Copies of this chain bind each other. A is one copy, B any other.
Amino acid sequence: MSRIRKIYLDEKEIPKQWYNLAADIKTEPFMSPDGPVPPEAWAPVFPMNLVELEYSTQRWIDIPEGILEILSRWRPSPLYRAYDLEEALGTPAKIFYKNESLSPAGSHKPNTAVAQAWYNKQFGIKRMTTETGAGQWGSALAFACALLGLECKVFMVRVSFDQKPYRKLMMQTWGANCVASPSNETQAGRTILEKMPDTPGSLGIAISEAIEAAVTDKSGNTRYSLGSVLNHVMMHQTIIGLEAKKQLQKAGIKKPDVVIGCAGGGSNFAGLSFPFVYDKINGAEIEIIPVEPASCPTMTRAPYVYDHGDTAKMTPLVAMHSLGHSFIPPPIHAGGLRYHGMAPLVSKAVTEGLMNPLALHQLECYEAGILFAKTEGIIPAPETNHAIAAVINEANKAKEEGKEKVILFNFSGHGLMDLTGYDKYLSGQLTDYELPENIILENLEELKDYPKPPVGK
C-alpha cells in the first residue's frame, strides 16, 4: 500500500470562511417592473440574514461556528485519487474527486441546507418550504431541518416523485412532508394541473409552489429555501473547493489543470470550481468545465437573458442563461439537472469566457457511471455521471496528447436512490434526446419584451 487513495483533513482544518465569487464577478441586479429589486423586497421570501449574504460582494465571509459544528458531522469530505479509473482508461492523467456522497443525505446539498436552516433558525423562522428535482436537495433540507428542529415542506417534481419513491421516504424519516408537484396545495400548482393534468412537472413549477406556500403563510414564521442558483447558495458550497485546494496541496499538487462538475442550477459545480475561478482570475491556467445534459442545454444553447427563476413568474427577473421559464425539459433521469436556467454567477462567468461548458447525452453518462462503479466501486448519482463522462473524455484526451494532466471533479452524490435509472439504462429502455432548435427558439419568444442584461465585462 505505497499509494494513498484518500486525502483527509482534520475536522479542525474545515475552512472557516466561504469564498464569494460576487466580489470578483459582477452579476446583474434582480429586476422587477419597478427596476432593480432592493434587499428588503425579499423579506417575505427569505430571512434577512440570508438576503444580506445574497447581496454581499465581500470576498471572504466568516462561517458561523454553529454551522461549522453541524458540517463537522461529515466534513471535511475526503479527496480521492481515482487510481482504478485511471488504470482502466490507461491514461497518464491524475484524476482526483471530492467525495460529497458521504454526507448523511448522500450529496453535496447539505452544505447549503445546513447553512440556510441555521440562518433561518437564527432569524426566528419555524418552518421552511422548498422544491426538489431528483430529491437530493429536498432530502438535504429535510436532514438539516431535523437537526435544527424546524418544520420542512418539500414540493417534489412529479416525474422524480414517481421514479424515486425512496426519496420521499427519506424526507419523511427525517420528519419532513413531501408532496408531488404540481400539487393541489397551491394556486400555482392548481393552475398548471388544470392546463396540463399529465405534466411531469419541472423545477420551475415546484419553485413557484414552494414560494407561494411560504409567502402565503399568515403566521409569518415560514420562509422559502432554494437549493441552487442564488449567490448565497453558491457561496455555501465553496467549502468543497476550498477543502480540495488544501487536499491537493497535501498530495503535492500545485494546481489542477482541469476542474469539472455537473451543472443543473450550478451549485455543486460552483462549490468545487469557484475557488479555482478565483485563481484563474488571478492568472492561473485552469480549464473549468460545467457539464449539462444535452436535453436541457442552458449554457451551451440558450442565451444570457433576463428571465424568471420559476414558471409562475413569482421570482423577479434574474440575469442568466435560460431556455425560458415555461420550458419543461424531457424527463431524463438526472432530475437535478432539469432546470430551465443557470446560476447567475456561473452564467456570468461563462459569458466572460472563464468556463468551457459542455453538454452530454444521457447514454454516454450512464456508461461512464457504470465504469466508475466497477472500478472505483461507488455507484454515482445520474447527475454526477455527467461529470464523470466529461472526466473520461478529458482523460482520454490526455492519453492522446501524452500529457500528465491533473483532473479534479466533484463526485456530487451517490446513486443509491436513483437506481431505477440504471435499471432502465441496463435494460435498454433509455434513449438520447436532441432538443430541436425550433423548440428552443419558440420558448424564448416569451422573453422578447424583457430587459436585456449587458453581455461581457
Contacts and interface: CB of A to CB of B under 8 A. Distances in A.
Interface of A: 1, 4-6, 8, 10-12, 14, 65, 68-69, 72-73, 84, 102, 104, 106, 143, 146-147, 166, 169-170, 172-175, 370, 373-379, 415-417, 419-420, 422-423, 426
A306 to B, nearest CB: 39
Contact of A419 (B1, B104, B166): B166
Given A102-B102, A147-B377, A6 B72 contact: yes
B172 A426 contact: yes
Contact of A11 (B1, B65, B375): B1
**Interface of chain A: mostly helix, strand, loop or mixed:** helix
A296 to B, nearest CB: 24
A377 B143 contact: yes
B423 A169 contact: yes
A44 B355 CA distance: 59
A172 B68 CA distance: 38
Given A416-B416, A419-B173, A1 B69 contact: yes
B374 A174 contact: yes
Contacts of A417: 166, 416
B426 A373 contact: no
Most buried by B among A4, A169, A375: A169
B72 A1 contact: yes
A424 to B, nearest CB: 10
B147 A1 contact: no
A388 to B, nearest CB: 14
A229 to B, nearest CB: 25
Given A5-B72, A147-B375, A170-B379, 11 more contacts: A1-B14, A1-B65, A4-B11, A8-B8, A73-B377, A104-B377, A146-B377, A147-B374, A166-B416, A166-B417, A173-B379
Contacts of A375: 147
A417 B167 CA distance: 10
Contacts of A170: 379, 416, 419
A173 B422 contact: yes
Nearest to A9: B8
Nearest to A65: B1
B373 A169 contact: no
Most buried by B among A5, A143, A419: A419
Contacts of A69: 1
A311 to B, nearest CB: 30
B174 A379 contact: yes
A169 B11 contact: no
Contacts of A68: 1
A291 to B, nearest CB: 21
A10 B370 CA distance: 29
